[in-house]
Chains A and B, each alone.
Chain A
Amino acid sequence: MTSAAPILQVRDLLKTFGAVVAAKDINIDVSKGEIVGIIGANGAGKTCFVNMVTGYLAPTAGSIVFEGTELVGKGPREVTHAGISRSFQVSQVFHSMTVEENLRIALAIAENRGVNALRLMESDALEAKCSDVLRRYKLEPHKHMTVSVLSQGIRKLLDIAMAVVSEPRILLLDEPTSGISVEEKFDFMDVVMGALKEDNVTVLFVEHDMEIVERYVSRVLAFYQGEIIADMAPDKALADNKVREFVIGKRH
């Protein structure tokens, strides 16, 4: 955990769907450079939290302040413009395009906002950036392949690579290793976290795999029934009685 001023402040966040309370009393400060793991059983409110921060879901009450700007009421596009990006549990990419085409369009959108979107998309600068992202995310061997024929792991890498081309200050990853084999998960995370470290991005990621959490995060937020039951360093969190009982599923 760092002691710098928080770049993300979440206060009294509440989300209800009719009588169902999906998230309540969420209060978090995230500082620049932190790698935060969000853990919890299915239905604990992890993805709901990610969806609220990234503008996909509007909170019922509470506030989300990023770098002094209130994000509640903003949609996904405005949140992206503010400097927060995300990847998805099921990778959200353009399946009938190649890996390279996916990255090119992501880069072009990031660089050509407003009336600049009427400028020619291709440029030497864009090609150079595209090559750099392909290299850093180990996507070069697949760059000419159509996404629909690629494995889940490569799609996930592409999904994350597309999310970071806009140079966000915070990146939220929703279960980055889901659908990736046990043998490949560490290689995958090494590629992702290595590239993100170069970019100096603050990362919050939802994860079920405690080995991944232990190895890559600096702080753990444990969710249970829509509430945060633990906010501490990973070694302490994984030894915490409530976390062991309600998240990991082991009685103390």
Chain B
Amino acid sequence: MLRDTTSKVVLFGGIAIILLGAIMPNWIVNQLMFGFSRALAILGLLVLWRTGLVSFGHAFYFGLGAYTVAIVDIQLGVTDVFVRLFGGAIIAGIAGFIIGFIMRNYRDIFFAMLNTAISMVLYGIIVKTESLGSTDGFAISLPTIFGIAPETKYPLFIIITMIAMISALLINFYLKTTVGRLTTPIRDNEIRVEYLGFSVAHAIHLKYTISAVLAGGAGALMAMSLGQVDPDSMINWTVSGELVFITILSGPGNVIAPFIGSLVFEVLRTYAFELAPQAWQLIVGATFLTVIFFLPGGIWSLIAKLGRKKS
């Protein structure tokens, strides 16, 4: 599982980032936490995108994960970081598994927009429900780790980085299994996949559920990193758009790509906002166009190209 180059880069890169985090200024640690949290959702979208499926509604699962953290905190007083994280991922995974029975029958724009529709239903319910925080959302207490309340965010940063590493390694492994390899084949020719003896519906269902678990975990980690949840920053369709944006920015080439793409996006948005608070979207949009025109395979294609030149 750890024999290939990607796994080694994930492992040693992750350890290096954890060690560097101890001496990094807080604002960088924060950016890394946000970037790595969001990257988990992108990892799931990468699995779908390789199969030719683009979801424009994964904020549904991202939001489910985030709101699970808020609800178990406020209603049950759960502060443990792992209970919150796995709670968010499992709830999103169950929802993804159930909704997957519908989604596996749709392709192209119908798949993309059906996900949007479902996410907007949840958005509408939360916005209109006082007990779910309505438009204001909830503030979340600081997470504890095995009963200990850390004084800084560094322990949470270590956990997020480790979860990111484990997720990347697991998805890297999954993409090398028979069902994991059924990405391009399904995109190219579903009839042939069926006649080879594999159910396309089952394969897509599994990919969809995996992407929901990852998005739920991402939302849970983001909620704990930010210390708050609200519908506009967790479930609105703009969040789904943001996730698709980062997926395209990252490129589908490698499981490391979502982490690089997410960090680039965090930096880009932060500096765009600082530079032009009223028109930061213009800078982000221009970057998006540049990537589509000059790097259709995303940032990863540039890294892969440079790697090939070097070797």
Residues of A within 8 A of B (CB): 54, 75-77, 80-81, 85-86, 92-97, 105-106, 108-110, 112-113, 116-122, 162-163, 166
Contacts beyond the supplied A75-B194, A97-B184, A110-B196: 14 A-B pairs with Cβ under 8 Å:
A76-B194, A77-B194, A77-B197, A77-B198, A80-B195, A105-B178, A105-B182, A108-B181, A109-B178, A110-B197, A117-B177, A118-B177, A122-B176, A166-B196
B181 A105 Cβ-Cβ under 8 A = yes
Cβ-neighbour of A54 out of B173, B174, B195, B199 (below 8 A): B195
- Lowest 3 A-B CB distances belong to which pairs? A117-B179, A80-B197, A94-B188
Q: Tell me how far the C-beta of A111 lies from the nearest C-beta in chain B, rounded to whole angstroms.
A: 8
Are the C-beta atoms of A118 and B195 separated by less than 8 Å? no
Q: Are B197 and A108 in contact (CB under 8 A)?
A: no
Residues on A with beta carbons closer than 8 Å to the beta carbon of B173: 120
Interchain CA distance A121-B181 in the complex, whole Å: 8
Q: Decide: A97 and B197 in contact? CB cutoff 8 A.
A: no
- Contact, CB under 8 Å: A121 / B196: no
- A92-B189, A94-B185, A97-B188 given; A120·B195 CB < 8 A: no
A108 and B194: CB pair below 8 A?
no
Contact A118 B179 (CB under 8 A): yes
Pair A108/B178 contact, Cβ less than 8 Å: yes
> What are 28 A-B residue pairs whose CB atoms fall within 8 Å in the complex?
A76-B195, A77-B194, A77-B199, A80-B194, A80-B196, A81-B197, A92-B189, A92-B191, A93-B188, A93-B189, A94-B184, A94-B188, A94-B192, A95-B189, A97-B184, A105-B181, A105-B185, A105-B196, A109-B196, A109-B197, A117-B177, A117-B178, A117-B198, A118-B174, A120-B173, A121-B178, A121-B180, A121-B181
In the assembled complex, the CB of B169 is this many whole angstroms from the nearest CB of chain A, namely: 14
Question: Known: A105-B181, A113-B197, A117-B177. Is A96-B192 also a contact (CB below 8 A)?
Answer: no
B residues within 8 A CB of A96? 184, 187-188
Provide the residues of chain B in CB contact with A77, threshold 8 Å: 194-195, 197-199
Cβ contacts under 8 Å, A162 to chain B: 192, 196
Closest partner residue, chain B, to A104 (CB atom): B181
Q: Which of B177-231 contact A (CB under 8 A)?
A: 177-182, 184-185, 187-189, 191-199
Interfacial chain A residues near B196, Cβ < 8 Å: 80, 105-106, 109-110, 162, 166
User: Which of A80, A108, A109, A121 is the most central at the interface, judged by chain B CB atoms within 10 Å of its CB?
Assistant: A109
**CB-nearest residue of chain A to B174:** A118
A92 touches B195 (CB 8 A): yes
A35 shortest CB reach to chain B, Å: 21
A121 touches B197 (CB 8 A): no
Interface size on B, residues (CB 8 A): 23
Shortest distance from the beta carbon of A87 to any chain B beta carbon, whole Å: 9
Q: Is the CB of A97 within 8 A of B177?
A: no
**Set of chain A residues within 8 Å of B195, measured between Cβ atoms:** 54, 76-77, 80, 85-86, 92, 163
CA distance A117 to B199 in the complex (A): 11
Report Cα–Cα, A116/B178, bound state, in Å: 8
Q: CB < 8 Å: which of A95, A109, A116 contacts B188?
A: A95
A residues in contact with B187, CB < 8 Å: 96
CB neighbours (8 Å) of A97 from chain B are: 184-185, 188
Nearest CB to that of B192 among chain A residues?
A92
Nearest Cβ in chain B — how far from A213, in angstroms? 25
B174: chain A residues at CB < 8 Å are: 118
Which of A106, A112, A116: most chain B Cβ within 10 A?
A: A106
Instruction: Give A195 to B188 CA distance when docked, in angstroms.
Output: 27
In the bound complex, how far is the Cα of B181 from the Cα of A119, in angstroms?
11
Instruction: Determine if B188 and A120 form an interchain contact, defined as CB atoms under 8 angstroms apart.
Output: no
Chain B residues with Cβ below 8 Å from A92 are 189, 191-192, 195
Specify which chain A residues have a CB less than 8 angstroms from the CB of B194 in the assembled complex. 75-77, 80
A residues near B181, Cβ cutoff 8 Å: 105, 108, 121
Name which residue of chain B comes closest to A105, CB basis. B185
B170 to chain A minimum Cβ distance, whole angstroms, is 11
A249 to chain B, nearest CB (A): 32
Report how far A235 CA is from B181 CA in the complex, Å: 48
User: Which residue of A is nearest B199, CB measured?
Assistant: A77
Interface centre among B181, B191, B196 (most CB of A within 10 A): B196
